[in-house]
Amino acid sequence: MNAIISALELVNELAGSRPPVLLDIRWQLSMPGAAPFDGRVAYVAGHLPGAVFVDLDRELASASGAAGRHPLPDPEVFGAAMRRAGVSSGVPVVVYDGGQGWAAARAWWLLRWTGHPDVRVLDGGLPSWEGALDTDVPAPAEGDFTPVPGAVELLDADGAAALARSGLLLDARAGERYRGEVEPIDRVGGHIPGAVSAPTNENVGPDGSFLPADELTARFKALGTTDTTAVGVYCGSGVSGAHEVLALAVAGIPAALYVGSWSEWSSDPLRPVAVGPDPQ
């Protein structure tokens, strides 16, 4: 099963006998001191017909704290949100966001991690959709999805540190944050020792759609993947890192996500920090 779906493919599936449930996950990273982005306002102004809004900060994550800015959500909260949106185990799901792809990838990863067998991301997000948008807020029938965490691999801080030594740990943040030249959000800049810089924005083209699978495969091979390499990803708080895991999936490379990411790692002054372009 493909991890992504094009807008044209989605049009055809929506008109078919087994249309997917649509989830709108519009979200943007809010910088300190700035007014928070309200994805629900954007959703109400226009969304894919039949799509249900899901709040990343409240339903795809638990409260910020020692475990990072976007820790894993409580399974009961996540499950209730998915059932409210009409998600059932036997029905395909397509998730999308405003085009960046990070938030949609977070929902994709969570649904996969909790056992949903058929979930894809709309490649290019809302901007790729050429059809009419809707302003009606649907009330779908309650779904039956019950999350069972653990279907795909998850890393904690110790696991990420070990993987940086034994396999390949990719840092999905911008290169200047990896190198420690700037750090606009977290306590300190830099990266997990041994991690390799792999900015998420290099996985997509100018329109926000993923590069072709063969180009992604070549990119990740150049970064150190092999047929036997264990691969993990982290970012700032487990959102853009999910997008990199998605890009790896498009390339046919399984990867684990360190959800706590740099926001968790850097909050502990006892954990080592590397700076500069060298992984070590």
Ranges of H-type helices in the chain: 7-14, 39-45, 56-59, 75-84, 102-113, 157-166, 175-178, 213-223, 240-250, 261-265
Strand partners, 107: none
d(C-alpha 199, C-alpha 173), whole Å: 5
Tell me if 124 sits within 8 A of 31, measured CB to CB. no
Rounded to 10°, the helix 240-250/213-223 angle is: 110
Which CA distances in Å does 105 have to 40, 92, 192? Answer: 18, 15, 23
Rounded to 10°, the helix 102-113/240-250 angle is: 70
Tell me if 264 sits within 8 A of 68, measured CB to CB. yes
Strand partners, 21: 93
Whether the CA torsion 56, 57, 58, 60 is positive or negative: it is: positive
Which CA distances in Å does 128 have to 41, 53, 264? Answer: 20, 18, 34
- Angle (CA) 91 246 108, round 5°: 35
Residues labelled catalytic:
235
Tokens matching residue 259: 């959800």
